[in-house]
Chains A and B, each alone.
Chain A
Amino acid sequence: MAVRVSTADFDISAEMARLTASDTAIGGVALFVGKVRDHANGEALAELTLEHYPGMTEAELERIEAEAQRRFQVSASLIVHRVGTLKPGDNIVLVIACASHRQNAFAAAEFLMDYLKTRAPFWKKEVLASGEARWVDARESDDMAAAAWESAQG
């Protein structure tokens, strides 16, 4: 179990190998990578800056990870989230969930992302190709995805 906030990019293969090396009971690994799109609401994006709340971010990610572990019998997991200024095509976030069976690995990875997007204190600021800079508004659909887990069994 691990969470990490970093300006640096991540090496997906190395992270997965490290996470799974010592546990041969793992039968499935679900992995999600979030990337910077080259457009925002139909406009060309130049760059994206991610701000966060040091201390709270790590605490919140650890709470989310512990909850995923409890719900889905996750045997190993990792959340890496980048901060700072990123360009289109750059990686933003890596979530890995390992479990004995694929259903739990898939569900845990989705749960981790849904909760991360509504609970972890990260904020995105877009700079468009036109030069305009704006903070990204939270999406109602993200809140609904997280709320669906609240009402789900577990």
Chain B
Amino acid sequence: MTAVDNTSVVLRYFAWLREKTGLNEERVTLPPEIVTVGDLLSWQPTRGHPFDLAFAKPEAIRVALDHAHAKHGTSIADAREIAFFPPVTGG
């Protein structure tokens, strides 16, 4: 298997990102040029409505790869499930 293949990933959305996209989750095959979390955040709004609105401010969006927080520079190569959400507000 090469570092970047065409296997699909599950994208999940929480809180206002779930409401704005209208999706709990979806399975997508990402373009091969998407390598990092930051690439993915830049790609999302290019998918058109409603992703352009939901991802208008990518700096306000947090990302988790397979249930672990990830920074914008982190590689997504091995991720099976990628989640998008606003900063957390529990407790």
Contacts and interface: CB of A to CB of B under 8 A. Distances in A.
A138 B85 contact: no
Given A53-B64, A123-B14, A138 B91 contact: no
Contacts of A122: 88-91
Contacts of B85: 53, 121, 123
Interface residues of A, number: 28
Nearest to B85: A121
Interface in A26-67: 34, 50-53, 55-56, 59-60
B90 A56 contact: no
Contacts of A102: none
B89 A137 contact: yes
Given A60-B67, A123-B15, A123-B90, 8 more contacts: A56-B67, A81-B90, A93-B91, A118-B88, A120-B91, A121-B90, A124-B90, A135-B15
Interface of B: 12, 14-16, 18, 64, 67-69, 83, 85-91
A50 B90 contact: yes
A135 B86 contact: yes
A34 B12 CA distance: 28
B67 A59 contact: yes
A51 B86 contact: no
A59 B15 CA distance: 19
Contacts of A121: 14, 64, 83, 85, 88, 90
A133 B84 CA distance: 21
Nearest to A79: B91
The listed residue with most A CB atoms (<10 A of its CB), out of B14, B16, B18, is B14
A7 to B, nearest CB: 14
A113 B75 CA distance: 30
A117 B90 CA distance: 5
